[in-house]
Amino acid sequence: MGKSILVTGGAGFIGQHLCRKLLISGHDVRILDSLQPQIHGSKPKLSDFTCEGRVEFIQGDVRDRAALERAVTEVDMVVHLAAETGTGQSMYQIAQYFSVNVQGTALLLDVLQNESCARDIQSIVMASSRAIYGEGAYRCAMHGLVYPEQRTVERLSSGRFEPVCPACGDPLELLPTPESAPFKPMSIYGLTKQVQEQAILMYARNRRINGFGLRYQNVYGPGQSLKNPYTGILAVFSNLARQNLPIEIYEDGQESRDFVYIDDVVEATLRCIDFSGNYIGALNVGSGKATTVMQVAEKIRAFFRSDSSIAVSGAYRAGDIRHNIADMSLTNEVLEFVPGEPFEKGLHHFLRWVCAQNHEDGANYIRSVEELQAKGLMGNQQVGA
Ligand SMILES: NC(=O)c1ccc[n+]([C@@H]2O[C@H](COP(=O)([O-])OP(=O)(O)OC[C@H]3O[C@@H](n4cnc5c(N)ncnc54)[C@H](O)[C@@H]3O)[C@@H](O)[C@H]2O)c1
């Protein structure tokens, strides 16, 4: 039977895809979203988010109690996606990130716990992030499984970008990171995601309802914001390549990410919503594969037959991690979910969609980099290092 589902942040990239699938599966969908101009521009069209009026749309902020009370009234489940999402931006908009991600979540739980308008919620699913792991899991030949500390400015500025063993300083072998890894966020964004996840899972345990902290890796696909310069390197590189502007690669270009296609993310999220057993905990949602930033830039440039130069600058940003790959074993076991879309194919779908979108000029991106520089949150590899 169809459920009544509130999706906070449902007008965003993941939310829009999810809401469409929820409707197809026969659920009633309500969105609470403030339509942040950084993501949606200054004149968003409501019809883009309401699926021809089949979605109930509440424009409001997750920090507004009255809006939340309206949003949770008589829903069976909550999918909490609304958040500030830029790793670099979080390092200087600290109060804003805590306010939206932590206080917004606290208020949501307060309303669910205390207000009679919130009928018994059966399940809560939240968008956590790989950012809560920081550098993630590695193997040291001497010390076995280790979780490296934040890379020091001394190492980064001398071009030694790979994390080292926290016990002996030796080089490490990268491993997929499992959910049992310790929390070691290296950005304010990651820290707020950790708190969000812990608060929501604590609530679920106390209420004895299902709770899923979905640790999304780098999600990409058609519909992701091309306007937001603070997040999504595929969108950033595409904007630059389409205009033949130079693509600057940080560090040495060998840093890598686990890129997971939007359809896989939606599928994993739907499996939580439709889950018939009992589960409270975190689950990785990734592809289980690493792709380097250099590979991404080269593939995007080739697709657009662009004249963009690709320059490895040696610059580095506070809050960035070196690599990540999700260990998908627990998610496979709990949700019987195996990610299906290989990066090559998913990237092709994304880039074909980009071709049909308006050009975004490079000004926002340049401004976002200048902001980081002005705040002292970018460094450069020393010449000759
Ligand atoms: N996209 C990724 O690669 C990725 C990776 C890990 C985790 N996540 C998490 O998944 C969730 C969704 O990400 P996304 O990529 O769809 O982001 P998005 O920026 O496209 O969507 C976020 C939505 O939240 C809304 N929002 C922001 N602040 C709000 C507020 N105060 N009140 C109400 N609505 C607000 C925005 O208007 C937007 O529509 C986020 O929680 C994000 O942290 C995303």
| Residues 181 and 249 reside in one and the same domain | yes
Residue 230 confidence class, pLDDT cut points 50, 70, 90: confident
Token output for 49: 């988010």
Our mutation pick for probing the ligand 1 site, out of 30, 65, 81, counting the most ligand atoms within 8 A of Cβ, is 81
Domain final residue pick, 175, 193, 226: 175
pLDDT score recorded for residue 27 = 96
* Region of poorest pLDDT, from 77-81, 270-274, 296-300, 357-361: 357-361
Q: Is residue 180 part of a domain?
A: yes
pLDDT at 206: 96
In a domain, 30, yes or no: yes
Lowest mean pLDDT among 52-56, 163-167, 305-309: 52-56
* Residues carrying an active site annotation: 189
Taking 60 as the threshold, does the pLDDT of residue 385 lie above it? no
Name the band, by pLDDT with cuts 50, 70 and 90, for residue 228: confident
Do 159 and 293 fall into the same domain? no
Average pLDDT taken over every residue of the chain: 94
In a domain, 291, yes or no: yes
Ligand 1 neighbourhood includes 218 CB (under 6 angstroms)? yes
Query: What predicted TM-score, i.e. pTM, was given to this entire model?
Result: 0.96
The answer to whether residue 182 is domain-embedded is: yes
Ligand 1 centroid to residue 139 C-alpha, Å: 33
Asked whether residue 29 falls in the same domain as residue 155, the answer is no
Which pLDDT does position 26 carry in this prediction?
95
pLDDT for the residue 229: 79
Residue 273 is assigned to a structural domain of this protein: yes
pLDDT of 383: 54
The closest-lying atom of ligand 1 relative to the alpha carbon of residue 130 is 6
Whether residues 277 and 368 share a domain: the answer is yes
Query: How does residue 358 score in pLDDT terms, banded at 50, 70 and 90?
Result: confident
Tell me, yes or no, whether 51 and 152 share the same domain.
no
* 158 and 95 part of one domain: no
Residues 122 and 154 in one domain: no
The pLDDT assigned to 371 comes to 87
Give the whole-angstrom CA distance, residue 35 versus residue 61: 9
Residue 247 vs residues 236, 297, 305, 319, 353: alpha-carbon distances, Å: 9, 8, 14, 20, 20
Last residue of a domain, one of 159, 175, 191: 175
SS3 content of the chain, % helix, strand, coil (to 5): 40, 20, 45
How far is the C-alpha of 126 from the C-alpha of 201, rounded, in Å? 9
Task: Tell me, using a 6 A CB cutoff, whether residue 85 lines ligand 1.
Answer: yes
Q: Which whole number is the average pLDDT over 98-122?
A: 94
The pLDDT of residue 382 is: 65
**How much is the pLDDT for 353?**
97
Q: Is the CB of 61 under 6 A from ligand 1?
A: yes
Structure confidence at residue 224 (pLDDT): 93
Which residues span the domain enclosing 148?
Answer: 138-175
The dihedrals phi and psi of 213, each to the nearest 5 degrees, come to -100, 100
Q: How far is the CA of 118 from the centre of ligand 1 (A)?
A: 23
Q: Is the pLDDT of residue 122 over 60?
A: yes
Ligand 1 and 15: CB distance under 6 A = yes
Q: Which atom of ligand 1 is nearest to the CA of 218?
A: 3
Question: From CA 344, how far away is CA 354, in angstroms rounded?
Answer: 15
Q: Of residues 236 and 364, which shows the higher confidence score?
A: 236
Single out the residue in 150, 175, 200 at which a domain terminates: 175
CA dihedral over 199, 202, 207, 210, signed as positive or negative: positive
DSSP states along 85-144: --HHHHTT-HHHHIIIIIIHHHHHHHHHHH-TTS----EEEEEEEGGGGTT--EEETTTE
Q: What is the mean pLDDT of residues 63-75?
A: 97
The rounded percent of the chain whose pLDDT value lies above 70 is 99
Question: Are 182 and 171 members of one domain?
Answer: no
Determine, yes or no, domain membership for 318.
no
Residues 359 and 268 in one domain: yes
Residues 103 and 26 in one domain: yes
Residue 94 included in any domain = yes
Whether residues 114 and 143 fall in one domain: no
CA distance 213 to 285: 10
Total structural domains in the chain? 2
CA-to-CA distance for 91 and 86, rounded, in angstroms? 9
Atom index in ligand 1 nearest the CA of residue 80 equals 41
Ligand 1 site, residue 100, Cβ cutoff 6 A: yes
Q: What pLDDT score was predicted for residue 37?
A: 92
Say whether pLDDT at 1 is over 80: no
Residue 219 inside a domain? The answer is yes
The stretch 251-259 carries a mean pLDDT of: 96
Q: What is the CATH number of the domain that holds 260?
A: 3.40.50.720
At residue 85, the pLDDT reads: 95
Mean pLDDT of 219-239: 90
233 lines ligand 1 (CB under 6 A): no
Q: What average pLDDT does this structure show over 82-102?
A: 96
| Burial state string for 85-113 with b = 16 or more CB within 10 A and e = fewer than 16 | bbbbbbbbbeeebbbbbbebbbbbbebbe
Both 162 and 230 in one domain: the answer is no
